[in-house]
Amino acid sequence: MSFVATLVSTPTAPAVDQELVRRAEDVLGVSNAATILSAGVAADIRFETPDAASADTMLRDLVGSAPVDVFVQPEHGRRKHLLIADMDSTMIRQECIDELAAELGLKDRISAITERAMRGEIEFEPALRERVGLLTGLPVSAIGTVLSNRIVLMPGGRTLVQTMKANSAYCALVSGGFTHFTKAVSAMIGFDENQANTLLEDGGKLTGKVGEPILGKDAKRVRLEELVAEKNLAFEDTLAVGDGANDLAMIEKAGSGVAYRAKPAVAKAADFRVDHGDLTALLYLQGYSEQDFVLS
């Protein structure tokens, strides 16, 4: 069966040099089988094997501690027609609720709960209610302050979305965070739609309540299923990316489920894991070269 192995490093520290590519070809038993997707950053190597898992293991052993991600997959069907993505710690560097908590001097307390929820140690929904409750009385104007001063887009995210859209893919941002943030982040990156939870407010202040039902892991999976039906796609046509336990259901359901700088349980369950590259790694995963990128 025809497979492709993709080696990817972060663009800011290129590590996929000619020597690594040559050694990877040797491990896979091929020669002159590489396509350079971006010099020093990403390369495809095509090969035949009855045992892709063994090829993946051999390549990871070869790479060792080098800052290089390894993806092994069938060559057919790599390019996806639907992207469904988490926001916090995936499309942006921060967890929005933790940054809101910082406005009240509660970041350490709330971020500890966030970390446990993202690791799957506690259920997402009650953890969200608890954290939102601690924000009671925070002026709604603080949300704009956080957006302006604390929220930073994850490198490569806009290029990922714009390139996929230019190739007829639909892109959805689904978050266990809040609509105040997803609307802004979605507009900055260029998603076709966004969904999240609603922070309730009264008199210009947060009430400490969140709109029900809470958008959690099951809701993310359901939106993926709805979009597959709406767009007349197969699940094999979809790519889901996230970092936390509340992303697991959509990651496991998608044709390509990607754990991005993810918690251990998520990285273990995903089809692919990105530990080193930026979000353009998801384009190299699909066989796009740097020359294909839409940088607007």
Catalytic residue among 86, 243, 247, 271: 86
Q: Does 218 qualify as catalytic in the annotation?
A: no
- In the chain, how many H helices and how many E strands? 12, 12
SS3 label, residue 173: strand
Q: Does 192 qualify as catalytic in the annotation?
A: no
d(CA 193, CA 210): 21
Helix (H) or strand (E) holding 143: helix 141-149
Nearest residue to 4 (alpha-carbon basis) of 280, 272, 293, 295 = 272
CA angle at residue 97 from 160 to 103, to 5 degrees? Answer: 120
Nearest residue to 103 (alpha-carbon basis) of 53, 150, 67 = 150
Q: Who's near 103: CB < 8 A, 6+ residues apart?
A: 138, 142, 145, 146
Catalytic residue among 44, 69, 88, 243: 88
| Cβ atoms of residues 6 and 42 within 8 Å | yes
Task: Give whole-number Cα distances, 88 to 50, 135, 196, in Å.
Answer: 38, 18, 11
Question: CA quadruple 116, 173, 88, 207: dihedral positive or negative?
Answer: negative
> Which residues have a catalytic role annotated?
86, 88
